[in-house]
């Protein structure tokens, strides 16, 4: 929101009232980051993290307004190249700390103005939406942004009017879990409910089942973060179709896509839920100035050079950040990197080639299960003279439960069933052949509703053979008709809204491991209908 200048006197930043068109996201640099990157070979400084020494903008390091060094490259196994441009202090004199107290005083006026504007925005949003919202909560990640969001919301609203919800992916930095304990204790002292949502699938299991996430296959966000949060709030409110509002720490300067967000959004992350982004227009200079002014808890990962406190291994991460994470949390990071290697279909690679495959980030480009060593399509959808035939390997009984989500399901015999859909009773016939199940639809043609029915039934088959009870479908059900506590049970009260089918490729696991066609058949054609 506000521009900033380097302050040679304090070594800090000075905000000014000029608008900032583009933020380079400055962040403080502590001795631990300097050590990890190898600056201790060039510079003289005390090993104390009470205060930072300098600032960084992306890969550029500034000491009291001077560009003194750059880094280039870096990855999990490769150290970034250091480019030292200038001596921070003459004759290798010890580096001076940033005078944080003095910097805070110089920025206090602008920060207070910004804070009051933001608090007013939060309060006005609460007043405007409170009649339609069942639960307000701060979506807490452990990062600097959510720390500031929590502070501002707690100043704007009564503490019994909102909750703090931490989405524990199981892949957080160890430092984030340490911070969580401090935040939980703070909430307890302040009378704020602290909630923790976590998937019943642990990370070890989910990466084996889904394969490692990739840029276009980010199943991890839904499985490990969004869905557990929604299901916890459903339980908390006693309302499967609850309407919530999350106060987030999302900022527009973090990415191009986030810069296009509105301050209040509906259905952005999950259907039927609101998101409010009170610090959307803040930049990191303002953020750190506020953190230092209010002496807020700062995740220790930032002092080690991490620009974001996210997941240990993420397909959206790259460069120096990967190296820093591997150095800071080697056991946790290499556990996940080993998962990438163990599930990769590159079976002919030597260990050196596999390390390079991981280091170059090629695993992030995976788009299907072809690149895995266990991806396999277990069904084939074919058409013959306008008739649809689905061949399934090892069909299980779960399809009968999922079929109830289409419409009223009636079992006529072990091989014949009917499903009501759009005022038509569709016949479903099963036949066993060569160890496979052949499914046909005797009274289904090529009419628009018939195509929709086939698409939904294909979704039923996919769910039945790939479902591992990850919870995404249950979270999508606003009527609470999907029970995965003990296997799978679809309630007779299902209203057939088909929201549980409105998931990419019908099932996130299938979407992640599909397209490695096995067996003697190949897929000739299939109906795909976005319902």
Closest-CA residue to 1 (of 220, 287, 192, 235): 287
Closest-CA residue to 475 (of 267, 264, 244, 223): 223
Task: Scan for tokens 């043609």, then name that residue.
Answer: 445
Closest-CA residue to 317 (of 298, 290, 300, 336): 336
In a domain? residue 502: yes
Domain final residue, candidates 294, 318, 346: 294
Q: Residue 505 maps to which CATH number?
A: 3.30.530
> Residues 6 or more apart from 316 whose CB is under 8 A from it?
215, 218
In a domain? residue 362: no
In a domain? residue 221: yes
Q: Is residue 404 located within the same domain as residue 263?
A: no
Q: Which token pair is 17?
A: 């009232």
Q: Is residue 76 located within the same domain as residue 199?
A: no
What's the total number of domains in the chain? Answer: 3
Q: Is residue 160 located within the same domain as residue 241?
A: yes
Q: Is residue 137 located within the same domain as residue 202?
A: yes
Q: Is residue 453 located within the same domain as residue 420?
A: yes
Q: Is residue 126 located within the same domain as residue 88?
A: no
Q: Which residue segment(s) compose the domain that 464 sits in?
A: 379-513
3-state secondary structure 316-359: CCCCHHHHHHHHHCHHHHHHHHHHHHHHECCCCCCHHHHHHHHH
| C-beta of residue 167 within 8 angstroms of C-beta of residue 228 | yes
Give CA–CA dist 215/155, Å, rounded.
37
Q: Is residue 95 located within the same domain as residue 145?
A: no
Give CA–CA dist 240/232, Å, rounded.
10
Domain final residue, candidates 71, 99, 127: 99
In a domain? residue 468: yes
Backbone φ, ψ for residue 7 (5° rounding):
-115, 105
Q: Is residue 118 located within the same domain as residue 190?
A: yes
Q: Is residue 83 located within the same domain as residue 124?
A: no
Give CA–CA dist 148/295, Å, rounded.
11
- Cα distances from 174 to residues 28, 181, 207, 332, in angstroms, run 21, 11, 19, 9
How many residues can be counted in the chain? Answer: 531
Q: Is residue 91 located within the same domain as residue 237?
A: no
Tell whether the torsion through CA atoms of 216, 218, 59 and 319 is positive or negative. Answer: negative
In a domain? residue 456: yes
Q: Which token pair is 445?
A: 């043609």
- For the chain, 531 residues long, the average pLDDT of each consecutive 10-residue run is 94 92 90 98 97 98 98 97 97 98 98 98 98 97 97 99 98 98 98 98 97 97 96 94 96 66 80 90 97 98 96 96 98 98 96 98 96 90 91 95 98 98 97 96 96 97 96 93 94 96 94 66 38 31
Domain final residue, candidates 83, 99, 115: 99
In a domain? residue 36: yes
Phi-psi region of 374 (alpha: psi -120 to 50; beta: other; left: phi over 0): alpha
| C-beta of residue 232 within 8 angstroms of C-beta of residue 239 | no
For the purposes of burial, counting CB atoms within 10 Å of the CB of 238, is it exposed (0-12), middle (13-18) or buried (19 or more)?
A: exposed
Counts of helices then strands in the chain (DSSP H, E):
17, 21
In a domain? residue 9: yes
- Cα distances from 101 to residues 84, 295, 387, in angstroms, run 29, 10, 75
> Residues 6 or more apart from 188 whose CB is under 8 A from it?
194
H-state helical runs in 364-412: 398-403
Q: Is residue 80 located within the same domain as residue 111?
A: no
Q: Is residue 79 located within the same domain as residue 124?
A: no
Q: Residue 187 maps to which CATH number?
A: 3.40.50.620
In a domain? residue 184: yes
């Amino acid at each position: 929101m506000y521009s900033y200048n380097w302050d040679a006197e304090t070594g800090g930043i000075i905000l000014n009232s000029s608008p900032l068109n583009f933020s380079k996201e400055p962040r403080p640099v502590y001795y631990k980051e300097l050590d990890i990157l190898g600056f201790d070979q060039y510079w003289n400084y005390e090993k104390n993290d009470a205060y930072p020494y300098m600032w960084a903008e992306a890969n550029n390091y500034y000491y009291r307004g001077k560009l003194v060094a750059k880094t280039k490259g870096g990855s999990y196994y490769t150290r970034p190249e250091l480019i030292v441009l200038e001596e921070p202090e003459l004759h290798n004199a010890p580096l001076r700390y940033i005078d944080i107290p003095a910097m805070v005083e110089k920025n206090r006026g602008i920060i207070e103005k910004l804070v009051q504007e933001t608090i007013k925005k939060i309060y006005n949003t609460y007043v405007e939406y409170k009649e339609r919202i069942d639960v307000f909560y701060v979506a807490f990640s452990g990062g600097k942004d959510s720390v500031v969001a929590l502070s501002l919301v707690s100043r704007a609203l009564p503490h019994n009017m909102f909750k703090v919800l931490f989405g524990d992916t199981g892949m957080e930095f160890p430092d984030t879990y340490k911070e969580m304990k401090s935040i939980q204790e703070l909430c307890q002292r302040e009378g704020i409910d602290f909630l923790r949502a976590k998937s019943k699938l642990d990370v070890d299991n989910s990466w084996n089942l889904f394969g490692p996430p990739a840029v276009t296959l980010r199943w991890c966000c839904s499985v490990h973060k969004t869905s557990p949060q929604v299901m916890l709030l459903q339980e908390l409110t006693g309302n499967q179709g609850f309407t919530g509002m999350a106060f987030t720490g999302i900022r527009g300067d973090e990415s191009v896509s986030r810069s296009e967000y509105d301050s209040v959004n509906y259905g952005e992350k999950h259907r039927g839920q609101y998101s409010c982004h009170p610090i959307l227009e803040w930049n990191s200079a303002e953020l750190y100035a506020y953190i230092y002014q209010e002496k807020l808890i700062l995740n220790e990962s930032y002092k080690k050079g991490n620009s974001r406190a996210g997941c240990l291994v993420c397909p959206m991460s790259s460069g120096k950040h990967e190296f820093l994470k591997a150095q800071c949390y080697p056991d946790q990071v290499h556990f996940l990197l080993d998962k990438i290697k163990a599930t990769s279909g590159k079976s002919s690679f030597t260990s050196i080639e596999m390390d390079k495959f991981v280091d170059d980030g090629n695993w992030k480009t995976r788009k299907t299960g072809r690149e895995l060593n266990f991806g396999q399509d277990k069904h084939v959808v074919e058409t013959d003279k306008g008739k649809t035939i689905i061949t399934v390997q090892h069909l299980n009984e779960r399809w009968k439960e999922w079929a109830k989500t289409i419409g009223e399901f009636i079992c006529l015999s072990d091989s014949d069933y009917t499903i009501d859909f759009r005022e038509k009773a569709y016949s479903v016939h099963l036949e066993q052949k060569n160890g496979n199940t052949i499914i046909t639809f005797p009274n289904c043609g090529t009419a628009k509703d018939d195509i929709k029915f086939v698409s939904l039934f294909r979704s039923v088959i996919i769910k039945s053979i790939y479902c591992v009870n990850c919870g995404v479908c249950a979270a999508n059900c606003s009527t609470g008709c999907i029970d995965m506590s003990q296997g799978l049970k679809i309630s007779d009260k299902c209203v057939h809204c088909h929201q549980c089918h409105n998931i990419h490729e019908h099932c996130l696991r299938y979407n992640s491991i599909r397209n490695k066609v096995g067996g003697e058949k190949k897929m000739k054609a299939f109906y795909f209908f976005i319902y």
